[in-house]
Structure 1
Amino acid sequence: MRYLLAFLCLALFATPAIAEDMPRLEQRGEATQLIVDGEPFLILGGELGNSTASDRATMARHWPSLRDMNLNTVLAPIYWELVEPEEGQFDFSSVDWLIEDARAHDMRLVLLWFGTWKNSMSSYVPGWVKRDSERFPRTIGADGRTQEIISAYSTEARDADARAFAALMRHLKRVDGDARTVIMVQVENEIGFLPFARESDRTDDPAADERAMARAYAEYAEVVAAAGKREYALPMFVNGAQGRPGVAPGGYPSGGPLAHLADIWRTHAPSVDFIAPDIYFPNFGEIVDGYYSAGTRPIFIPEANRPSDAALAANALRSIGARGAIGFSPFAIEDASEAQAANIGAVYAMLDSIAPLVLDAQAEGRIAGFAAPVDLDGTAMLEPLVSELGGARFSVTTVDPWTPRDAQDPKSHGGILIWLGGEEYLFAGTGMTLTVEPADRQGRMGFERVEEGRFVDDGWQRGRVLNGDQTHQGRHVRLPPDTFGIQRFTLYRY
């Protein structure tokens, strides 16, 4: 009896400990952050192209380059058609080798469930679903013919998807619950209806139709997510394909997890922890700000355009610094050219070195992020960006004063500013120039000391102490373009 009681006590107290170690979202001060292995975690990610993760030999060619780009997390699809080729018969081999290979390369995974919908379409459902349109009804397109989109009102499809997703999460808990390679899961992919605002019963009010469609999608996603969470309660999110301004619902995937529909998704999909934007338009910051203003927490960008985007690093730095993003992930990361991979590797290496400082500063409201605002047509606005931290008012420009204007691209310039306490600050990024004045406008502020350097395992490793030409005779702190650097400086009043 004594041993039985001891065993029961051990089991009783072990369960919360296991749950405590699970990846989770946690409110830390002013920020909602992802906690992995008990510590805040910043996702330096990349999403694979749609088909890459379906073949182990193909992936084997990419792991080394992903590691060289300093990724700590890979976003990888999991395909319903592969894991349930016959109804009720599951094959998780494609999941298992993905986890094994990620561990072998010291990577975490965010899994993307390509279930009922992928980019609005139902092309990743198993063959037994595709062939039974009576049980799994399709929607009607603009030409009056059925289209490869399963109805959001199909309870049969919803419940079949939920059973498959629950089986996946149950399997993940069994094979990865201790190792925690998988840290988050996306439910479906770019949900949204085309080519109308609503599947059926349409009215003359596209906005109202879209809200009705959003409710249907959210309620469907809720059943799927809730079924998965009952098995293994990892953080879960849904991602949204953005609409071009001025385009009516149905011209973009209507009813998806978009900022203007955030209230519906929060209400009708409570098991979904947050909604996230996929961003391929130039006005990146504006879209992120829309989600932030809609109360989306945390901010996470699972598809941040492609590695070819010149503004990629700037968008990452601003999202993390200004909007408390838990991570950033370009799409089709394995297709990066040598130069693009070097750019991603450089900004991720810098961010990795300061990640603990960044995460603490997010929680304590001691951080700012900068990038030139860009219009939908790609025009960058080059006015100084202003932020107040620690009693100082900073003005940051994205045009480098010592580089010919036609030899630089301000859209690629971005930075993070962290107040370290007292009069100490850290500035990290590329192509940014910072000036300062007192926030209370009393007297003036200058730079007592500016030094470049880097963070290594034992802390700050100082390089040159900068003055004279490097600080424009004490007037500014400058991060040169075409390289990612970190400078630490001390202010003083006079």
Structure 2
Amino acid sequence: MMQFAKIGSAFTALALAAAAQAEPPRLVKQGTATQLTVQGKPMLLIAGELGNSSASSAAYMAPHWKRLKAMHLNTVLAPVSWELIEPVEGRFDFSSVDALIREARANDLKLVFLWFGAWKNSMSTYVPGWVKRDQVRFPRAQLPNGQGVEILSAMAPATLEADQKAFAALMAHIKTVDDRQNTVLMTQVENEIGMLPVARDYGPLADAAFKGPVPAELMNWLQQHRDSLVPQMKQLWEEQGARTGGTWAEVFGPGHQAEEIFTAWHYARFADALTRAGKAAYAMPMYVNVALNRPGRLPGEYPSGGPLPHLIDIWKAGAPAIDFLAPDIYFPNFVDIVNVYKRPDNPLFIPEANNADHPQVPGNALYAIGKLDAIGFGPFSIESIDEKPGALGEAYGLLKQLAPHILAAQGLGRMSAFRPKALYDETLVYEPITEKIGDYRFTVAFADIQKPVATPDTANAGGIIIQTGAEDYLIAGQGITVTFAPLGPGPSLAGIDSDWEGEFDAQGRWVAGRLLNGDQTHQGRHIRLPAGKFQIQKIRLYRYQ
């Protein structure tokens, strides 16, 4: 009887293990941070996004997989286009999806799929031919003169229904082939949604809706969240929206402003319904990305109505099923932008962090992950540099070594990151940055402070500081000089007990290099990580009077 009990217990344990393996990736809070948990363990996405057409060909991708792995990536963001998986209505071909999953597994990489469905970069060029050609069933958005544009109207029920069926079929297929291995971690819903070259669709369905009342659902949400709205929306709501109701123009004012909010609401509702259909098939994390607007441009001169900084609240109201909104950042003022998207209701993930060869990318990766607890970071066209990864490969190698320590510290006040802030005009702001981490105040200065603009050397400057014990810290990066002072009661001066350079091996064990002192620490005055080479130093501080 005892033996049967043991066998039963063994089967129960196996069943529980299988159930745990079958759970899709999910988002979990740790302190103030949100982490992606994969098979019960948090994961930091050290990622890169493929070029738009690369994933459509297994032969084209064949030489890249090993090189991406050698660059220290653990995740590849790969497009999946509607036209490839449903070339004939109702007939699905997942061979391109299966090839991506197969090659990712063979190279010990994870995937984030980018659904190029109804819209990609505003346009509707990735939809199947049977959708493109049937403009009665799948109407286009229209200009004020009635001319159609190559953008499907978000107002057409048939478009939503067809997109939902295809997206749900994709998610069901992923669940069937991948729910035990979790090769696919998340899904992006559409790509850079936005209306061009005007602020809204002028087709008959859109015109009728614009002349109708603002939905009570949106009005109530804005009223309930009025104290936490983004500044532009808060001002608008205080000036216009706090009325009892009315048409879009009556509530949000005449002209482009009301038109873009109208567009944002209907895009958000479409994306929310699409997300719900996908999650019903396989409930993994899903997000929407955004193409940002340049300063001084009017709605329609940029992809209008996407989850832009001034429209985040409209998207939060209209698309609660979406887990987060993710900025695609190609502008120099990276620090300003990511701080807008890091919110208590919006964990940070950067799917397109400029082009992979841009000199600011390595420093931006350290900042987003170390300062803002980003789930992950991925520059665009990653395969274009996989033969010569340069500074990005070094930075990713450093993040790979630090990942366990980063994940342990996220959201708990034991970590921060530093880089020179770049303005939109590419000017670098070099003032030292001071922050408290544990019982010490750290001041970080950047190398080459006399240079007025970003260069390949200065733009990469940046680092992460992680507290690992009461007086123990990891300092990693390059191009930074770090000084420190004690906080709280006790001796008022801080010194360096020890400063070891080194690295973590594949098993996460610290392998010490030189014990740094003398000229390398300015006779015990500071920690310096010279420009030009990413490195890790393991330090212990002490106090004296």
1:7-86 matches, within 5 Å, as 17-18=19-20, 21-86=23-88
- The answer for the alignment partner of 1:475 in structure 2 is 525
Residues 71, 386 of structure 2: 8 Å contact kept: no
Contact 2:122–2:194 (Cα < 8 Å) also in 1: yes
2:341 maps to 291
What amino acid does structure 2 have at the position aligned with 1:331?
Answer: F
- CA displacement at 1:179 relative to structure 2: 1.4
- Tell me the equivalent position of 1:239: 289
Q: Does 1:133 align with 2:135?
A: yes
Could you give the per-residue CA deviations for residues 436-479 of structure 1, whole angstroms, max 9, x where no partner exists? 11234962212121111111225211111111100111111011
The answer on whether the counterparts of 2:359 and 2:456 sit within 8 Å (CA) in structure 1 is no
Q: What is the SS of the residue equivalent to 2:380?
A: coil
Whether contact under 8 Å (2:264, 2:315) holds in the other structure is yes
- For 1:219 and 1:440, the matched residues in 2 are separated by 51
In the alignment, is the contact (CA less than 8 A) between 1:392 and 1:436 conserved in 2? Answer: yes
Give the direction of change, closer, same or farther, for the CA distance of 1:352–1:337 in structure 2 (3 Å limit): closer
Could you tell me whether the CA contact under 8 Å between 2:49 and 2:380 is conserved in 1? yes
Q: Following the alignment from structure 1 to structure 2, what is the Cα–Cα distance between the partners of residues 19 and 257?
A: 34
Please say which of residues 435-444 and 70-79 is displaced more in the overlay: 435-444
Question: Does the Cα contact within 8 Å between 1:400 and 1:433 map onto a contact in 2?
Answer: no
One-letter identity of the residue aligned with 2:519: D
Match of 1:184 in 2: 186
Partner Cα distance (1:131, 1:102) in 2: 35
SS across alignment from 2:37:
strand
1:455 alignment counterpart: 504
Aligned equivalents of 2:522 and 2:259: distance in 1? 58
Inter-partner Cα distance in structure 1 for 2:496 and 2:16? 53
Letter in structure 1 aligned against 2:351: P
Q: Which residue in the other structure is 1:3 paired with?
A: none
The yes-or-no answer on 1:215 pairing with 2:265 is: yes
* CA deviation profile, 1:343-366 (whole Å, cap 9, x unmatched): 222111111111010011113221
The letter for the 2-side match of 1:359 is L
Out of 470, 476, 498, the residue aligned to residue 428 of structure 1 is 476
SS, match of residue 161 in structure 2? helix
Are the equivalent residues in 2 in contact too, given 1:112–1:187 (CA < 8 A)? yes
List aligned pairs for 1:45-444, cutoff 5 A. 45-141=47-143, 145-200=147-202, 201=207, 204-292=254-342, 294-336=343-385, 338-339=387-388, 341-399=389-447, 409-440=457-488, 443-444=492-493
Deviations 1:368-420 (A, max 9, x none): 011110000111000001111112111101225899x9997322111110111
- Which deviations, in whole Å up to 9, do the C-alpha atoms of 1:12-64 show, x marking residues without a partner? x7699347732111112221000112111011111000001101100102112
Change (3 A) 1:433 1:230: same
Q: CA deviation at 1:207?
A: 2.5
Provide, for residues 70-127 of structure 1, a one-character-per-residue CA deviation record: whole Å limited to 9, x for no partner: 1111100001001011111111111111111111111100000000000000000000
Asked if the contact 1:142–1:195 (Cα under 8 Å) also holds between the matched residues in 2, the reply is: no
Aligned structure 1 segments of 4 or more residues deviating by more than 6 angstroms = 405-408
CA distance in 2 between partners of 1:113 and 1:99 (Å): 15
What's the secondary structure of 1:116's corresponding residue?
Answer: strand
Alpha-carbon contact 1:400-1:480 (below 8 Å) kept: no
Identity between Structure 1 and Structure 2 (%): 51
CA–CA separation in structure 2 for the residues paired with 1:48 and 1:145? 34
Deviation digits for residues 217-238 of structure 1, max 9, x if unmatched?
A: 1100111110110010011000
Q: 1:84 to 1:408 in 2, by over 3 A?
A: closer
Partner of residue 3, structure 2: none
**Aligned partners of 1:273, 1:408: CA distance in 2, in Å?**
35
Which structure 1 residue ranges, 5 or more long, are not aligned? 1-5
Q: Distance in 1 between matches of 2:320 and 2:454?
A: 50
Closer, same or farther: CA 406–375 of 1 in aligned 2, 3 Å: closer
| DSSP 3-state at the match of 1:297 | coil
Distance in 2, Cα, partners of 1:110 & 1:141 = 35
Matches of 1:407 and 1:233 in 2, distance apart?
A: 44
Contact 2:119 2:193 in 1 (8 A): yes
In the alignment, the residues of structure 2 paired with residue 193 and residue 174 of structure 1 have an alpha-carbon distance, to the nearest angstrom, of 35
- The separation in 2 between residues aligned to 1:387 and 1:10, in whole angstroms, is 50
Could you tell me how far apart the structure 1 residues matched to 2:537 and 2:168 are? 48
TM-score (norm 2): 0.85
Instruction: Give the partner amino acid of 2:357.
Output: S
Structure 1 402/251 Cα, relative in aligned 2: closer, same or farther at 3 Å?
closer
**How big is the shift at 1:143?**
7.0
Relative to 1, partners in 2 of residues 1:406 and 1:195: Cα closer, same or farther, differing over 3 Å? closer
Asked whether the equivalents of residues 20 and 38 of structure 1 are also in contact (C-alpha less than 8 Å), the reply is no
Give the secondary structure class of the aligned counterpart of 2:411. helix
- Residues 299, 79 of structure 1: CA spacing in aligned structure 2 closer, same or farther, 3 A cutoff? same
Structure 2 SS opposite 1:49: coil
Supply the distance in 1 between the matched residues of 2:120 and 2:449 (Cα, whole angstroms). Answer: 46
Distance 1:402 1:189 in 2: 40
Question: What does residue 231 of structure 2 align with?
Answer: none
Give the AA of the match of 1:145: Q
